[in-house]
Structure 1
């Protein structure tokens, strides 16, 4: 199931951020904007979610994914995830 959230950049709604965090905690994949487009994200230790990202991106077997943690995501993580 897909869900769409618009989170205001200047006044982020805690309720929507908490919903997105729960999706990731439960093994979901999220799409978030970057300065050059969009990126896919998931809980890095969730093998199933990582495999879904590889399928979505149509990557070959064995392709290595590297973590990219934007400053805004780190701030959200500190605020809502401890």
Structure 2
């Protein structure tokens, strides 16, 4: 049974954030708010939790395109190859924000992602997401929770989310209604930025 925890983005309870971070550390799965849609996340360093998410999404873990949700730009260098100044300026200008940037990965990627040459980086403009990553001490692996309904692409109501995901996750954070538009995905591994998916963020970066 998933636990529904109410948090307010303006002033999230640090005690609850720490408790949720411990659940992540122990291999738990959570659904949490971002600056776009609600995300399904786990600790980047917990292989069993990563495998669970891959199973839920119906993908092979080593081929999965999950995002690395970071607190800020300072811990990017742990997982991303050296960036040129133009790329770094784009990141600095647009993050935190509703973007996923595809960047070249480095040798520090967790073993299950070693074969991947690129990594999708997110720094959501959301206090709850940032505090979770801060107290966890490393990025959260994340994927948006798609809806099965062809009309409603993303579920935005935490009450409905907990009904649907009750037996699949440990915690659902209720931070009010989420957005129904995912992040804009931009590939920065080529000489020119390439728009992969238009979402909430402007394509004009």
TM-score w.r.t. length of structure 1: 0.76
Residue matched to 2:146: none
Query: 1:40 offset after TM fit, Å?
Result: 1.1
Structure 1: which 5+ residue stretches go unaligned?
Answer: none
Q: Matches of 2:24 and 2:3 in 1, distance apart? A: 13
Q: Which has the higher helix share?
A: 1
List structure 1 runs of 4+ shifted beyond 4 angstroms.
Answer: none
Q: Matches of 2:21 and 2:61 in 1, distance apart? A: 28
- Residue 24 of structure 2 contacts residue 43 of structure 2 at CA under 8 Å; is this kept in 1? yes
Aligned length: 81
Higher normalized contact order (CA 8 Å, seq sep 6+, divided by chain length):
2
Deviates more, 1:4-13 or 1:52-61: 52-61
Q: How well do the aligned residues superpose, as a CA RMSD in angstroms?
A: 2.3
Residue matched to 1:16: 16
Q: Matches of 1:11 and 1:21 in 2, distance apart? A: 17
Verify: 1:66 aligned to 2:66, yes or no.
yes
